[in-house]
Chain A
Amino acid sequence: MRRSAQLWPHTEEELEAKGYDLRLAGRLSLYLRPQMGLALVSLGVLLLDSFLDIVGPYLTKLAIDEHISQGDLEGLTRVALLYLATLAGGALTQYFRISLLQLTGQRAVLQLRVQVLEKLLRLPQSFHDRSPVGRLVSRAVQDVEVIQELFTQGVVVILGDMVSLLAIAAALLWLDWRLALVTLCVAPPLALATALYRSRARRAYRELRQKVAQLNGFLQETLSGMLTVQLFGRQQRNQEAFQELNSQTRAQHLRAIRYSSIFFPFVEVMAALALGLILWYGGGRVIQEQMLPGVLVAFIQYMRRFFQPVRDLAEKYNLLQAAMASSERVFALLDTPSHISSPEAPARADLPCGEILVKDLWFSYRPEEWVLRGVSFHVPAGHSLAIVGATGAGKSSLIGLFNRSYDPQAGEILVDGLEVRKWDLEQLRKHVGIIPQEVFLFRGSLLDNLRLWNTEVPQQRIQELARELGVEDWIQSLPGGYQMQIQERGQNLSLGQRQLVAFLRAVLYNPRILVLDEATSSVDPPTELMIQRALGLLAQGRTCIIIAHRLSTVRAAHRIVVLHRGKILEQGTHQELLAQGGLYERLHRLNLDRSFLQDSVSPASGPARP
């Protein structure tokens, strides 16, 4: 858990201290590189669009100075039609600008989206144990969404606004450079004010985000622990704490409102100042006949367009910040080292027959809390081994080691004479099939759940195997048969039914070695019977390691291991152990059945109640 806290250390202050912007922007731009062609075309369209956008006031000037003042109505009509044409052209470029930029950004983000999931799937079980699913989902979806917004909206608007500003300034200078210089006097104070607002607003919004996060965190925790809150009568104290946080949040909101209420009206004052300057200096030049009146009108129209991008830029700054924070978190996830992965040069087993050798295995989830303490055993190919013991004996921990969901701290597991760490991970996992106690099913059809979305497996093949396992009739009896729609986590099938699905999954998957954690929970008798029969068929011809809870299963195994508190107390065949007259014999005599191993010994862990 301590490690998981380090995984996301990035508060915004820390980010800022690191001068993150450039590094992150550089890394983000890597995702744009494959879309370079598209990006360049979009940029071209963007320039064309900005150009068409600033033609209007110039045409107005043309109309006033060349035609209206001369009484040239024919010319005026021509200009008006030209204006209409630029509007139509502008509508087209607008359309292409929006959709091309969206496409560029979406494609770039698609790559990132898939990459994040790939990374999550590569990270080992131990990582997932300590990372709440909700947090990972928010990395993979929400944070990526913010980055997408940056790509499709932020960058575009910022780029477009920059281009517009430059284009307008150029047009002004071209029309009348003296008046342009006078008018652009407003630019420095405007820039200064924007910078000031940005730094103030940045701080205000940062504190605001922190407060909002605190407030929602408090709310979330109270909701999760509501029963405790109510039983201890903490409502009043909680209410006070919540209101305090809430009022701090409100104060930050009000502060942000104050800043924007000063900044935006100030921008308007600057716009009025520019207008005044145009009227004063430009009007004078018109009177002195150094400038045509149309230029004056064009200047007035251009100034209006000049201030819109300024307002936009100030607002987009927030988005930029949020996107940087999100990308920092996403990249931190992508950079998480995965210590369980295929070796560079995986070795191949000489004879993949399914032999297992476990040598002096030590394993713990937390330092110094050993779950397995020096476990050793051998299962020849095609043999079966039953492991019995009370809950907490370390049985379930054992199974994750065979397919490297976890790696042990000491000792080794050899599969077909080859240490599991030397195997190609995918090969190993194809070779060693695991059926956990809690069978997890995905939303989708039963058929897809059986063949695990491998569409190359025909339904016919599945039906043959189902018949062999004796579950075909049962499947046909389900609503929809193979097409039955499984709900989230398979909740519309009973526990026993889910196990049958898992068995059928396993035969289809056809591993040489099968590691099975038999379910402890009780199942209705007909299903139980089907499970027992299917299990027997499943074990045939395979090397099996079964964490057993049922006497029949234990008896059917070639060898039996009695595990307790991470140590092997006895091992041998059923007959040997009985003859030995040790623990197993005592257990057996006491009618070793499932109720023994579930109820009396295990501190039954029921579902957590709200």
Chain B
Amino acid sequence: MSPKSPGQAHTKGLGRLIPYVREHRKWILGGLLCLAAADGLALVPPWILKKAIDGLGRISTGGELPGYAGAILLVALLQAGFRYGWRTSLFGVARHVEYKVRNELFRALQRLDRAFYLQHSIGDIMSRCTNDLVSIQEFIAFVGLLVLDSSLTILSCVFLMAWIDPGLTFAALLPLPLLSVSFMYFGRKVKVNSLQVQAQLAELTQEVQEILSGIRVVQSYTMEQAKILGYKKACITYLDRQMSLARLRGIFYGVLGFLAGGAFVIVLGLGGTSVAKGELTLGSFVAFNAYLLMLSWPMMSLGFMVNLLQRARASLQRIGEVLDAKPRVSSPPRPAPLENQLREILLEQVAVRYPGSEPWALRGINLQLPSGIKVGITGPLGSGKSTLLELLPRIQDPTEGRILMNGKDLRELSLETLRSRVALVAQEPFLFSESVASNILMGASAQDSGILCGFARMVSLEREIRVLPQGWDTLVGERGVMLSGGQRQRVALARALAARPAVLLLDDAFAHLDAETEARIMGNLLSSFPDMTLVFVSHRISTLMRAHWVIVLMGGSIFEQGSPSTLVKAGGYFQELARRQEILEEMEAWSEGLPK
């Protein structure tokens, strides 16, 4: 994110809403007209009251009273209609805009790549899509209402009050500026205090989060009491901050009530005197009071409006950061075509360095992978195995060098085309909280159960799924928690196969399986897909031995490579690995032989 001056960001921020709002301009105009009409009508009943009460003294029949009462009711009914109109249209527009922005956020998020997701936690993004969207929706819902309603009401009420008695109006309005000033003053203080309350709440959240993340230590070292005491202290700080906020609010509302009431006392004293002297009618006195009452809400809403505006600005900026973020990995504007037949993949002087980290994750990788080859990759932790696999479906791009598919740089191809050819199965695959079937078929073009069973059989999963109560329709739960680690891996493998890739990448995808199952699945893969290019990371010699070619990575570079049968005699890492595994197998056999 390039740093922007705050002024720029702000203008850009609010201007951003214009296209969304313009779409609904008819509804907004209609809503505002309804609002103005409702506000105008609100002025009528006090005037009717004035007429009626003044009439009480002069005539003694009271014959026109039902007429006045009826008029008030009629005005109210009309007003209700207009109120319905502006509420549904203005509030509705806000929801429509919210809907649209949310869709766009989702679209933007689906386009962004790892660079973005490394910078922003899911919690952060979620908060942008929820809290920030709410403050924008509220802004749109209330801004017209606040501005138009306040100004109309203030102007018209003050005008009518002055019509009744200019001197009294001046006196009555004396406390009102004070009201606005104190609203601003306390509003700012309340805001500061609320921020402190929020900060302490965040602190509580983090405290609980940390205690729960370290629950093992807490319980093992019987730190419960110390941690509870610490938490209680933080809670008491929170309570104190809430209390000072409450006290502030208490003073605030007290002052507010006093000032607003003060205006009525002035009217009662001065206006009452005028009535007593006969300079003002009782009806005018009552109407005057009614108009004064209508003024207090717009006066108070000023602070609310300022707050709404500030929040909306900040939120729009945060949402804008998502909408404007550019993925590093994306399709070129005019992607090169790719033949249906995959011939070869070529890695030329490929090197990767993660931003902010010193050593190269991969360096000087040159590989030629003809179509249909089976390549095994092994090496110690952190040697760059996963990074190498991630380059092919362009989860990330190499920092240096290039990768060619059928002679074309991957960056020239459309991402969609590339990824429909290359499938990757991670060691800890992500499953969606749907059924087993829909997880497996998520990348498949055809959706029938024959395909499903075929692929499931290929990964030795069919029998296990069939015995589940709901079979293929079994829901796998959040991230697939209802399945075992091995089942998750096999569902992910079936899912990759169902997408019929030309290149299959397995990143230690059998880690949770026992040797026997792994061997069976590997056999199935080799016999059923002779033309598929297969690149797999593994630590198991028996699996690596089935590759045409084995690459040993060490510290980001190719340490040794060759056919497994030569490597196993080469006296390097691979041979060492093989010797060690021999003994492991021995242990295995031994433990199986023990009585249970």
Contact = CB atoms under 8 A, between A and B. Distances in A.
Contacts of B427: 603, 605-606
Contact of B76 (A118, A224, A272, A595): A272
Interface stretch (A6-14, A29-37, A198-206, A247-255): A247-255
B231 interface: yes
B144 interface: no
B170 interface: no
Contact of B590 (A70, A261, A443, A583): A583
B49 interface: yes
Interface in B413-434: 415-416, 419-420, 423-424, 426-433
A171 B495 CA distance: 74
B257 interface: yes
Interface string A560-603: 00001101010000000000000100110010000110111111
Interface stretch (B262-270, B311-319, B336-344): B262-270
A543 interface: no
A117 B586 contact: no
* Chain A interface, >50% SS class: helix
A265 B79 contact: yes
Interface residues of A, number: 157
Contact of A219 (B129, B220, B576): B129
Given A141-B201, A233-B419, A586-B586, A264 B125 contact: no
Contacts of A261: 83-84, 87-88, 91
Given A220-B122, A583-B583, A610-B118, A121 B262 contact: no
A110 interface: yes
B219 A121 contact: yes
Interface string A257-286: 110111011101101110111011001101
A15 B362 CA distance: 56
A195 interface: no
Nearest to B442: A232
Contacts of B8: none
A397 interface: no
Contacts of A590: 579-580, 583
Interface in B126-169: 126, 129-130
A366 B386 CA distance: 30
B250 interface: yes
A549 B323 CA distance: 49
Contact of A283 (B52, B130, B431, B512): B52
A68 B269 CA distance: 10
A249 B590 CA distance: 60
Interface in B428-446: 428-433, 442-443
A80 B73 contact: no
26 contacts: A79-B268, A91-B257, A99-B250, A113-B231, A121-B211, A121-B215, A136-B212, A140-B208, A145-B201, A220-B126, A223-B125, A228-B430, A230-B419, A243-B103, A260-B87, A261-B87, A262-B84, A265-B79, A269-B73, A276-B68, A276-B72, A286-B56, A287-B59, A405-B219, A429-B221, A489-B214
A599 B275 CA distance: 98
Given A96-B250, A110-B236, A569-B594, 18 more contacts: A2-B482, A95-B254, A98-B246, A117-B231, A227-B114, A231-B393, A254-B92, A265-B80, A265-B87, A276-B70, A284-B65, A293-B282, A304-B293, A452-B221, A489-B213, A565-B588, A590-B583, A605-B427
A405 B215 CA distance: 10
Nearest to B277: A71
Interface stretch (B14-22, B93-101, B519-527): B93-101
Contacts of B222: 426, 429-430
A191 interface: no
Given A276-B70, A610-B114, A56 B223 contact: no
A103 B220 CA distance: 36
B467 interface: no
Contacts of B61: 287
A228 B434 CA distance: 14
Given A91-B258, A223-B125, A228-B430, A587 B583 contact: yes
Given A231-B393, A565-B591, A600 B216 contact: no
A242 to B, nearest CB: 5
A197 interface: no
